[in-house]
Structure 1
Amino acid sequence: MAGAEMLVHWLRPAEKVAQLVVERRGWDHVETALANPKPILFVSPHLGAIEACGIHLAMRIPRQLAALYRPPKIKVLEPLMLASRDRENGLAAPANAKGVRLLLKTLKAGQTAYMLPDQAPGAGDGVWAPFFGQPAYTMTLLPKLARQFDATVLMCFAERLTWGRGYRMHVVPLPALSGEPVADATTVNAAIEDLIARAPAQYLWSYNRYKRPAGAPKPGEENA
């Protein structure tokens, strides 16, 4: 279902996709954040309709939205994906040094960014933190960006409604971060778990969240 709707969302006019979000819960947090000059960091895991969530934000937020992405495994799909994510206020940023610099520039300008927090980072770019009771190598980039730019961090996802009725957007503020990498990664993972609990059947459980990246230490060995 996720693969089929992704292609539809890439090909359909952006405003048509944005209109598929027929209900929004917690949108007042977005409005409060927009009333503040601080940048906003939207964080959406592999849950629900990822493309619809990002497109709705790009169409409804009066700021530039830089979205960090990893190229699809099917290379021929990348131009299509980029054409979709670069529409309106959207700006696709590859998950490499160039893309991170683009994210930094966007947040420094007081704009907005969109990230998936449950992708396994490369060695040295993460720490081990619990995720549903098991250690998962979790990115440190998100907390670093939030602290560096004093950004408002909003967790979000677009829940699929039954019978093709569209999507329900959920927006929840991320609890305060401490500045300690493992504690912050634990906070982020707990927030992801809370979102998943709202629609557990719509999480991409097939994604290997618990893999150990090449060169990364074993759980509990970071300080060994």
Structure 2
Amino acid sequence: MDKSLLKPKYWGLWIIIWIAKILVNTLPYSVLMRIALGIGFLAKPLLKKRQQIAITNLKIAFPDKSDQEIEKLANESYKSASMAGFESLISWFMSKKNFNKIPFDNDLKTFDQIHYDKDKTLLVLGFHFHCLEIAGRYIGEHYSPFTVMYQYHKNPLMEHIITSSRKKYVTECFQRKNIISVIKSLKRKVSMWYAPDQDFKEHVVFAPFFGKLCTTLTVTPWLAKKTGSTVIPAYYIRKPNFSGYSIITGDPITFTGDDFEDAKLTNKILEDIIKKHPEQYLWQHRRYKTRPPGEEKIY
């Protein structure tokens, strides 16, 4: 660990991390989730901007819903996002013994077939549903070797905590721009997970997402072709009443070789998944931030 992370400016965060480690290994899972909801309720007045972003996104995605229905869905999404914070802490700090008590009811048939086939490479097309971190730990602990691609955190201490914690249950964490290492790993037949559904600026095309153009990565089909990987979609949902999680994988995706058509295809796959559990998707992200030339800002 870099000794600079022990400087006084990080002490407050270190204390929070220390408390979090105690909590997730002392309290039952259901109690932790209720605490998360309570903290989320108290913090909501401070997060009005994120709530408005969610409402804007939901109005684009579901134009037929009334303002009251949109607000209700935004509130449900906020509650889900509140629990996601504690789910990350559980993923990073909870002991394996306690983590294994959390129920998972999964459909990983396609995942199993490709991951265990020595002649194939698996590239999991994940998406930003709120419980992705806890699903990632489950996959990492049950399928090895397994790697993830991620976005570097701007806070050096958080970057250290997140990557060092993830490396306890995944083989390697690759920064998004470290594409050479990503390619080498996939060519060694090591399964990989990554989520491309964010507002990126490079290697993108504008493709429709719920009828509105947004920047969409072209990297997925390129990586698949470059490394001979089989790409499957995956999503993960939180079950009602703190009863655990489900991880579901779909059939392999066949790309066309056309950047726009392939981007449209991946967005359509995500749309269909979101419609099943809209409250658990990360609507708080400014997915439509970058606009085509000449278009007005949305946020």
**TM-score, normalised with respect to structure 2:** 0.66
* Structure 2: stretches of 5+ with no match in the other structure: 1-82
1:135-214 alignment to 2 at 5 Å?
135-212=213-290
SS at match of 2:149: strand
Cα deviation for residue 173 of structure 1 reads 2.4
Cα deviation for residue 195 of structure 1 reads 1.7
Alignment-derived partner of residue 101 in structure 1:
180
Q: Which structure carries more strand by proportion? A: 1
Alignment-derived partner of residue 113 in structure 1:
192
SS at match of 1:22: coil
Report if the CA contact (8 A) 2:153-2:159 is conserved. yes
2:139 to 57, 60, 67: 57
RMSD value, Cα: 2.1
Q: Which structure carries more helix by proportion? A: 2
Cα deviation for residue 40 of structure 1 reads 0.3
| CA 1:197–1:138: 2 relative to 1, 3 Å | same
| CA 1:161–1:139: 2 relative to 1, 3 Å | same
Alignment-derived partner of residue 70 in structure 1:
151
How many aligned residue pairs are there? Answer: 212
SS at match of 1:23: coil
Matched-pair identity in %: 25
2:162 to 81, 97, 101: 81
Alignment-derived partner of residue 78 in structure 2:
none
SS at match of 1:207: coil
Higher relative contact order (CA 8 A, sep 6+): 1
Deviations, residues 69-112 of structure 1 (Å, cap 9, x unaligned): 1123444221111012212443111122xx21221111010111
| CA 1:126–1:166: 2 relative to 1, 3 Å | same
**TM-score, normalised with respect to structure 1:** 0.86
Distance 2:249 2:160 in 1: 29
Stretch of structure 1 that moved more, 78-87 or 200-209: 78-87
Distance 1:159 1:70 in 2: 22
- Dislocated runs of 4+, deviation >4 Å: none
